[in-house]
Structure 1
Amino acid sequence: MTYWPYKEPLGDLCALEQADRYVFTSQYQQQPRALGGDLIKGEWFAYYETPPRIRLRKMYADTAQKTAEHNDYSVFELWGLGEDNRLYLLDLIRGKWLAPELKRRAIAFWNSHKAYDHKTGAPLAQLLVEDKSSGTGLIQDIQADGHIPVKGIPRGTDRLTRIMGVLAYIESGRIVLPKNTPWLSDFIAECEAFTANNTHAHDDQIDPMIDAITDLLARNSDWSGWT
């Protein structure tokens, strides 16, 4: 393919590639990529042993409507925005819990991370929950107690659209996972198995990640220093 710098400056092309690699490889490199099971690659994630100073912490939850074997899990994830402008997955719990136990798990997870060192961390700011089915009930129960700042997350777009909107942040290495944790392999396996046509088994861990990236990175995007 011939490059015409007067038509599209190199800086603009680099910005497009970084913002949406799928469009770029298809349109400019004549290498179309199918939206199959390789949407998210484990190799794109960065990894940490000790996170840097965290300037903002929030929890994100995706709750399952039912607890049968084939149903998704309920998941709570703790994410922190580092001073290096990368997003750190700090902790995660996952299980199949009915309403009373779901509320107990949510409160316990919040309380286990409420304390912080002001020299290295930040207060726990908010719990954000997908506002549908069991999530709506959980939001109402926690709001009634009044001890945890909780907010519902409405779903206005489908999951594929939402994940395509944050994929560049993952591919650029701005999403950082802990190296030594028992749930890491399951988290990566679920990400790598995600398909555009919903033939994957589970996506309960992916939704909170999308919400965290959208909330903490995409809304205040700063690509300076990321090439």
Structure 2
Amino acid sequence: MSATTLTVRQQLVYEKELCERSFKDFIRLAWPHVDTAEYKHNWHVDVLAEHLQACTDGRITRLLINICPGSAKSLIVNVLFPAWLWAIRPKTRVLSASHSFDLATRDSLKTRRLITSEWFQRRWPIGLRNDQDAKTKFENDSFGAREATPLKSITGNRANFVIIDDPHSVDDAKSAAMRATAVETYLTAVPSRLNDPDRDVIICVMQRLHEGDVSGAILGRPDLDYDHLCIPLFADGVDRPPTSIGWIDPREEGENMFPARYTEKVVRGYRASLGPLQFSGQYQQAPAPDADGFFRREWFHRYEPSALPQHVNYYMTSDHAPSGNNDYNVFRIWAVDHNRALWLVDSFRKRCTMDIALGLSRDANAKTVIAPEGAFALIRKYKPRAWFPENDGTWAAIKSMVSAAMIETKTFVTIDPLPTKGSGDKVGKAVGYQAMAAMGQVHLPVGPIGDEALSEYAMFPAGKRDDQVDADSAIARALEDVIPAWLPIIAPKKKRSMFDDDDSRATSDDCWG
């Protein structure tokens, strides 16, 4: 039966049944009643709809969605989906949270306007209770509810669906303290907001802003058992596991998610205004770029041990974490050649207490001995001309132990602590090392040491870890301050002949000097 032959009543019944069977059709038909912008269909809308619908039939109970701004993610997930839940299950209770009260209120109000619209009411005549009918919290006659709150205040009521939409603002994501607060709230408070933790649903939708954001926390904990729906603006070729409903990104690498929306001109403007780090996070769902970040992989030479020059001078740098609980202790051995190029030769990097990091222990006679690995093992092996630790509180606490250990083990090195005052923040301290790398002056060994360094460099300064960057930047800072950083090999003087007189000239023209 064609639509032109349907009566108004039949069309209402047809649309009602169509929408109840398919959330993606609900999106298309409800769109004009929540947004003035013209609806432009794209395949990503169907993918979002299919995964959200899978949350209603038990196939997915934990869903993480990473997708870029401007993709209608909030409108689909946090406005239309709660309204559709009431259309198919009026008793459903929905709790949503965002990084700010204003954002949470905006989407709650849009849902309320849609539910009270003539279009919705003619198909699903759901009444709102007079005793609970506010912008951020309203209930229907079947005791279904829709409540919105800032993430930091997500306590109190429970729900069947908890939706977290953008748990971080762009500015908040730059603060380690605020990131950590949002992550802790998400991990500790959000799961307890479910009526039935086994069957009820948590949905988090956001763009990536930092390696340590809420998405990073979820992805770093596989036991949370989230389905990860990741749709970068440009297909990145990453081999991600299929979601529970079997979806994998079908695009060729580099293919635009929505060319009609994100034209070449639009994308060029985004790249220019955001810069590579922010664009990579928000649009590519990769908090650090593959290229054009603070460090670029192609700047660094990789070398086999046999390629290390013979005539070099060795130096040691370090970055310290006294507790060793979360951060790494790092000690690096560097070779500096006659061109002042840097060669990372050896490394100790481990979450451990300072005695293990230094590589010190006591034998049966309570005598200090050097362990097989650690700072003193590196000093004994390479005999560096100098050690450049950061002159911070940690170094102040351990320097007496280091001095005593040198005397006891008869293992010595000149120590020249690098000043912290006036040296800038972590990015500022790394600028010298960045410049040397950009000029092709840094060589990293083939193997795990070089691989781990490059992985951290690629994430800097947005990554969770920067201990290697701190330790490695120290060698460039030292080269700026220590003279000479390379002690040249002096060629032996040519022995004079008995026939040379004191006034010998280099050329016959010297007599005209």
Q: Calculate the TM-score normalised by the size of structure 2.
A: 0.32
Equivalent residue in structure 2 for 1:168, among 435, 448, 452: 435
Partner of 1:108: 377
1:179-223 C-alpha deviation (Å, 9 max, x unpaired): 2x222211100011002xxx41111111121110122268679xx
Partner of 2:448: 182
Following TM superposition, by how much is the alpha carbon of 1:134 offset from its aligned partner in structure 2, in angstroms? 3.2
Preserved CA contact (<8 Å) 1:62 1:129: yes
Partner of 2:215: none
- Counting only pairs closer than 5 Å after superposition, residues 32-111 of structure 1 correspond to structure 2 as 34=275, 36=277, 37=288, 38-49=293-304, 50-68=307-325, 71-104=326-359, 105-111=374-380
Q: Are 2:125 and 1:125 aligned?
A: no
Paired letter, 2:458: E
Preserved CA contact (<8 Å) 2:321 2:354: no
Preserved CA contact (<8 Å) 2:295 2:460: yes
Residues in 2 aligned to 1:169 and 1:160: alpha-carbon distance in whole angstroms: 15
Select the structure with the greater relative contact order (CA < 8 A; seq sep ≥ 6): 1
Residues in 1 aligned to 2:392 and 2:481: alpha-carbon distance in whole angstroms: 23
1:87-109 C-alpha deviation (Å, 9 max, x unpaired): 11111110022132223222122
1:81-127 C-alpha deviation (Å, 9 max, x unpaired): 1123311111111002213222322212211223xxxxxxxxx2012
Give 3-state SS (helix, strand or coil) of 2:430's partner. Answer: helix
4+ residue runs over 6 A deviation: 218-221
Residues in 2 aligned to 1:56 and 1:80: alpha-carbon distance in whole angstroms: 5
| Distance 1:220-1:142 versus aligned 2 partners, 3 A rule | closer
Following TM superposition, by how much is the alpha carbon of 1:142 offset from its aligned partner in structure 2, in angstroms? 1.5
Preserved CA contact (<8 Å) 2:387 2:416: yes
- Cα root mean square deviation, aligned: 2.4
Residues in 2 aligned to 1:52 and 1:82: alpha-carbon distance in whole angstroms: 7
Preserved CA contact (<8 Å) 2:418 2:478: no
Residues in 1 aligned to 2:322 and 2:419: alpha-carbon distance in whole angstroms: 16
Residues in 1 aligned to 2:431 and 2:470: alpha-carbon distance in whole angstroms: 12
1:3-35 C-alpha deviation (Å, 9 max, x unpaired): xxxxxxxxxxxxxxxxxxxxxxxxxxxx67837
How many pairs align? 176
Q: Are 2:498 and 1:214 aligned?
A: no
Q: Are 2:455 and 1:192 aligned?
A: no
Residues in 1 aligned to 2:317 and 2:386: alpha-carbon distance in whole angstroms: 8
Residues in 2 aligned to 1:127 and 1:79: alpha-carbon distance in whole angstroms: 10
Partner of 1:140: 400
Partner of 1:153: 418
Preserved CA contact (<8 Å) 1:131 1:139: no
| Distance 1:214-1:77 versus aligned 2 partners, 3 A rule | same
Residues in 2 aligned to 1:209 and 1:163: alpha-carbon distance in whole angstroms: 8
Preserved CA contact (<8 Å) 2:314 2:382: no
Q: List gaps (5 residues or longer) in structure 2.
A: 1-271, 278-287, 360-373, 485-513
Paired letter, 1:88: W
Q: Calculate the TM-score normalised by the size of structure 1.
A: 0.69
Paired letter, 1:92: S
Q: Percent identity?
A: 22
| Distance 1:212-1:159 versus aligned 2 partners, 3 A rule | same
Residues in 1 aligned to 2:301 and 2:400: alpha-carbon distance in whole angstroms: 36
Preserved CA contact (<8 Å) 1:77 1:92: yes
Between structure 1 and structure 2, the one with the greater Rg is 2
Residues in 2 aligned to 1:171 and 1:32: alpha-carbon distance in whole angstroms: 23
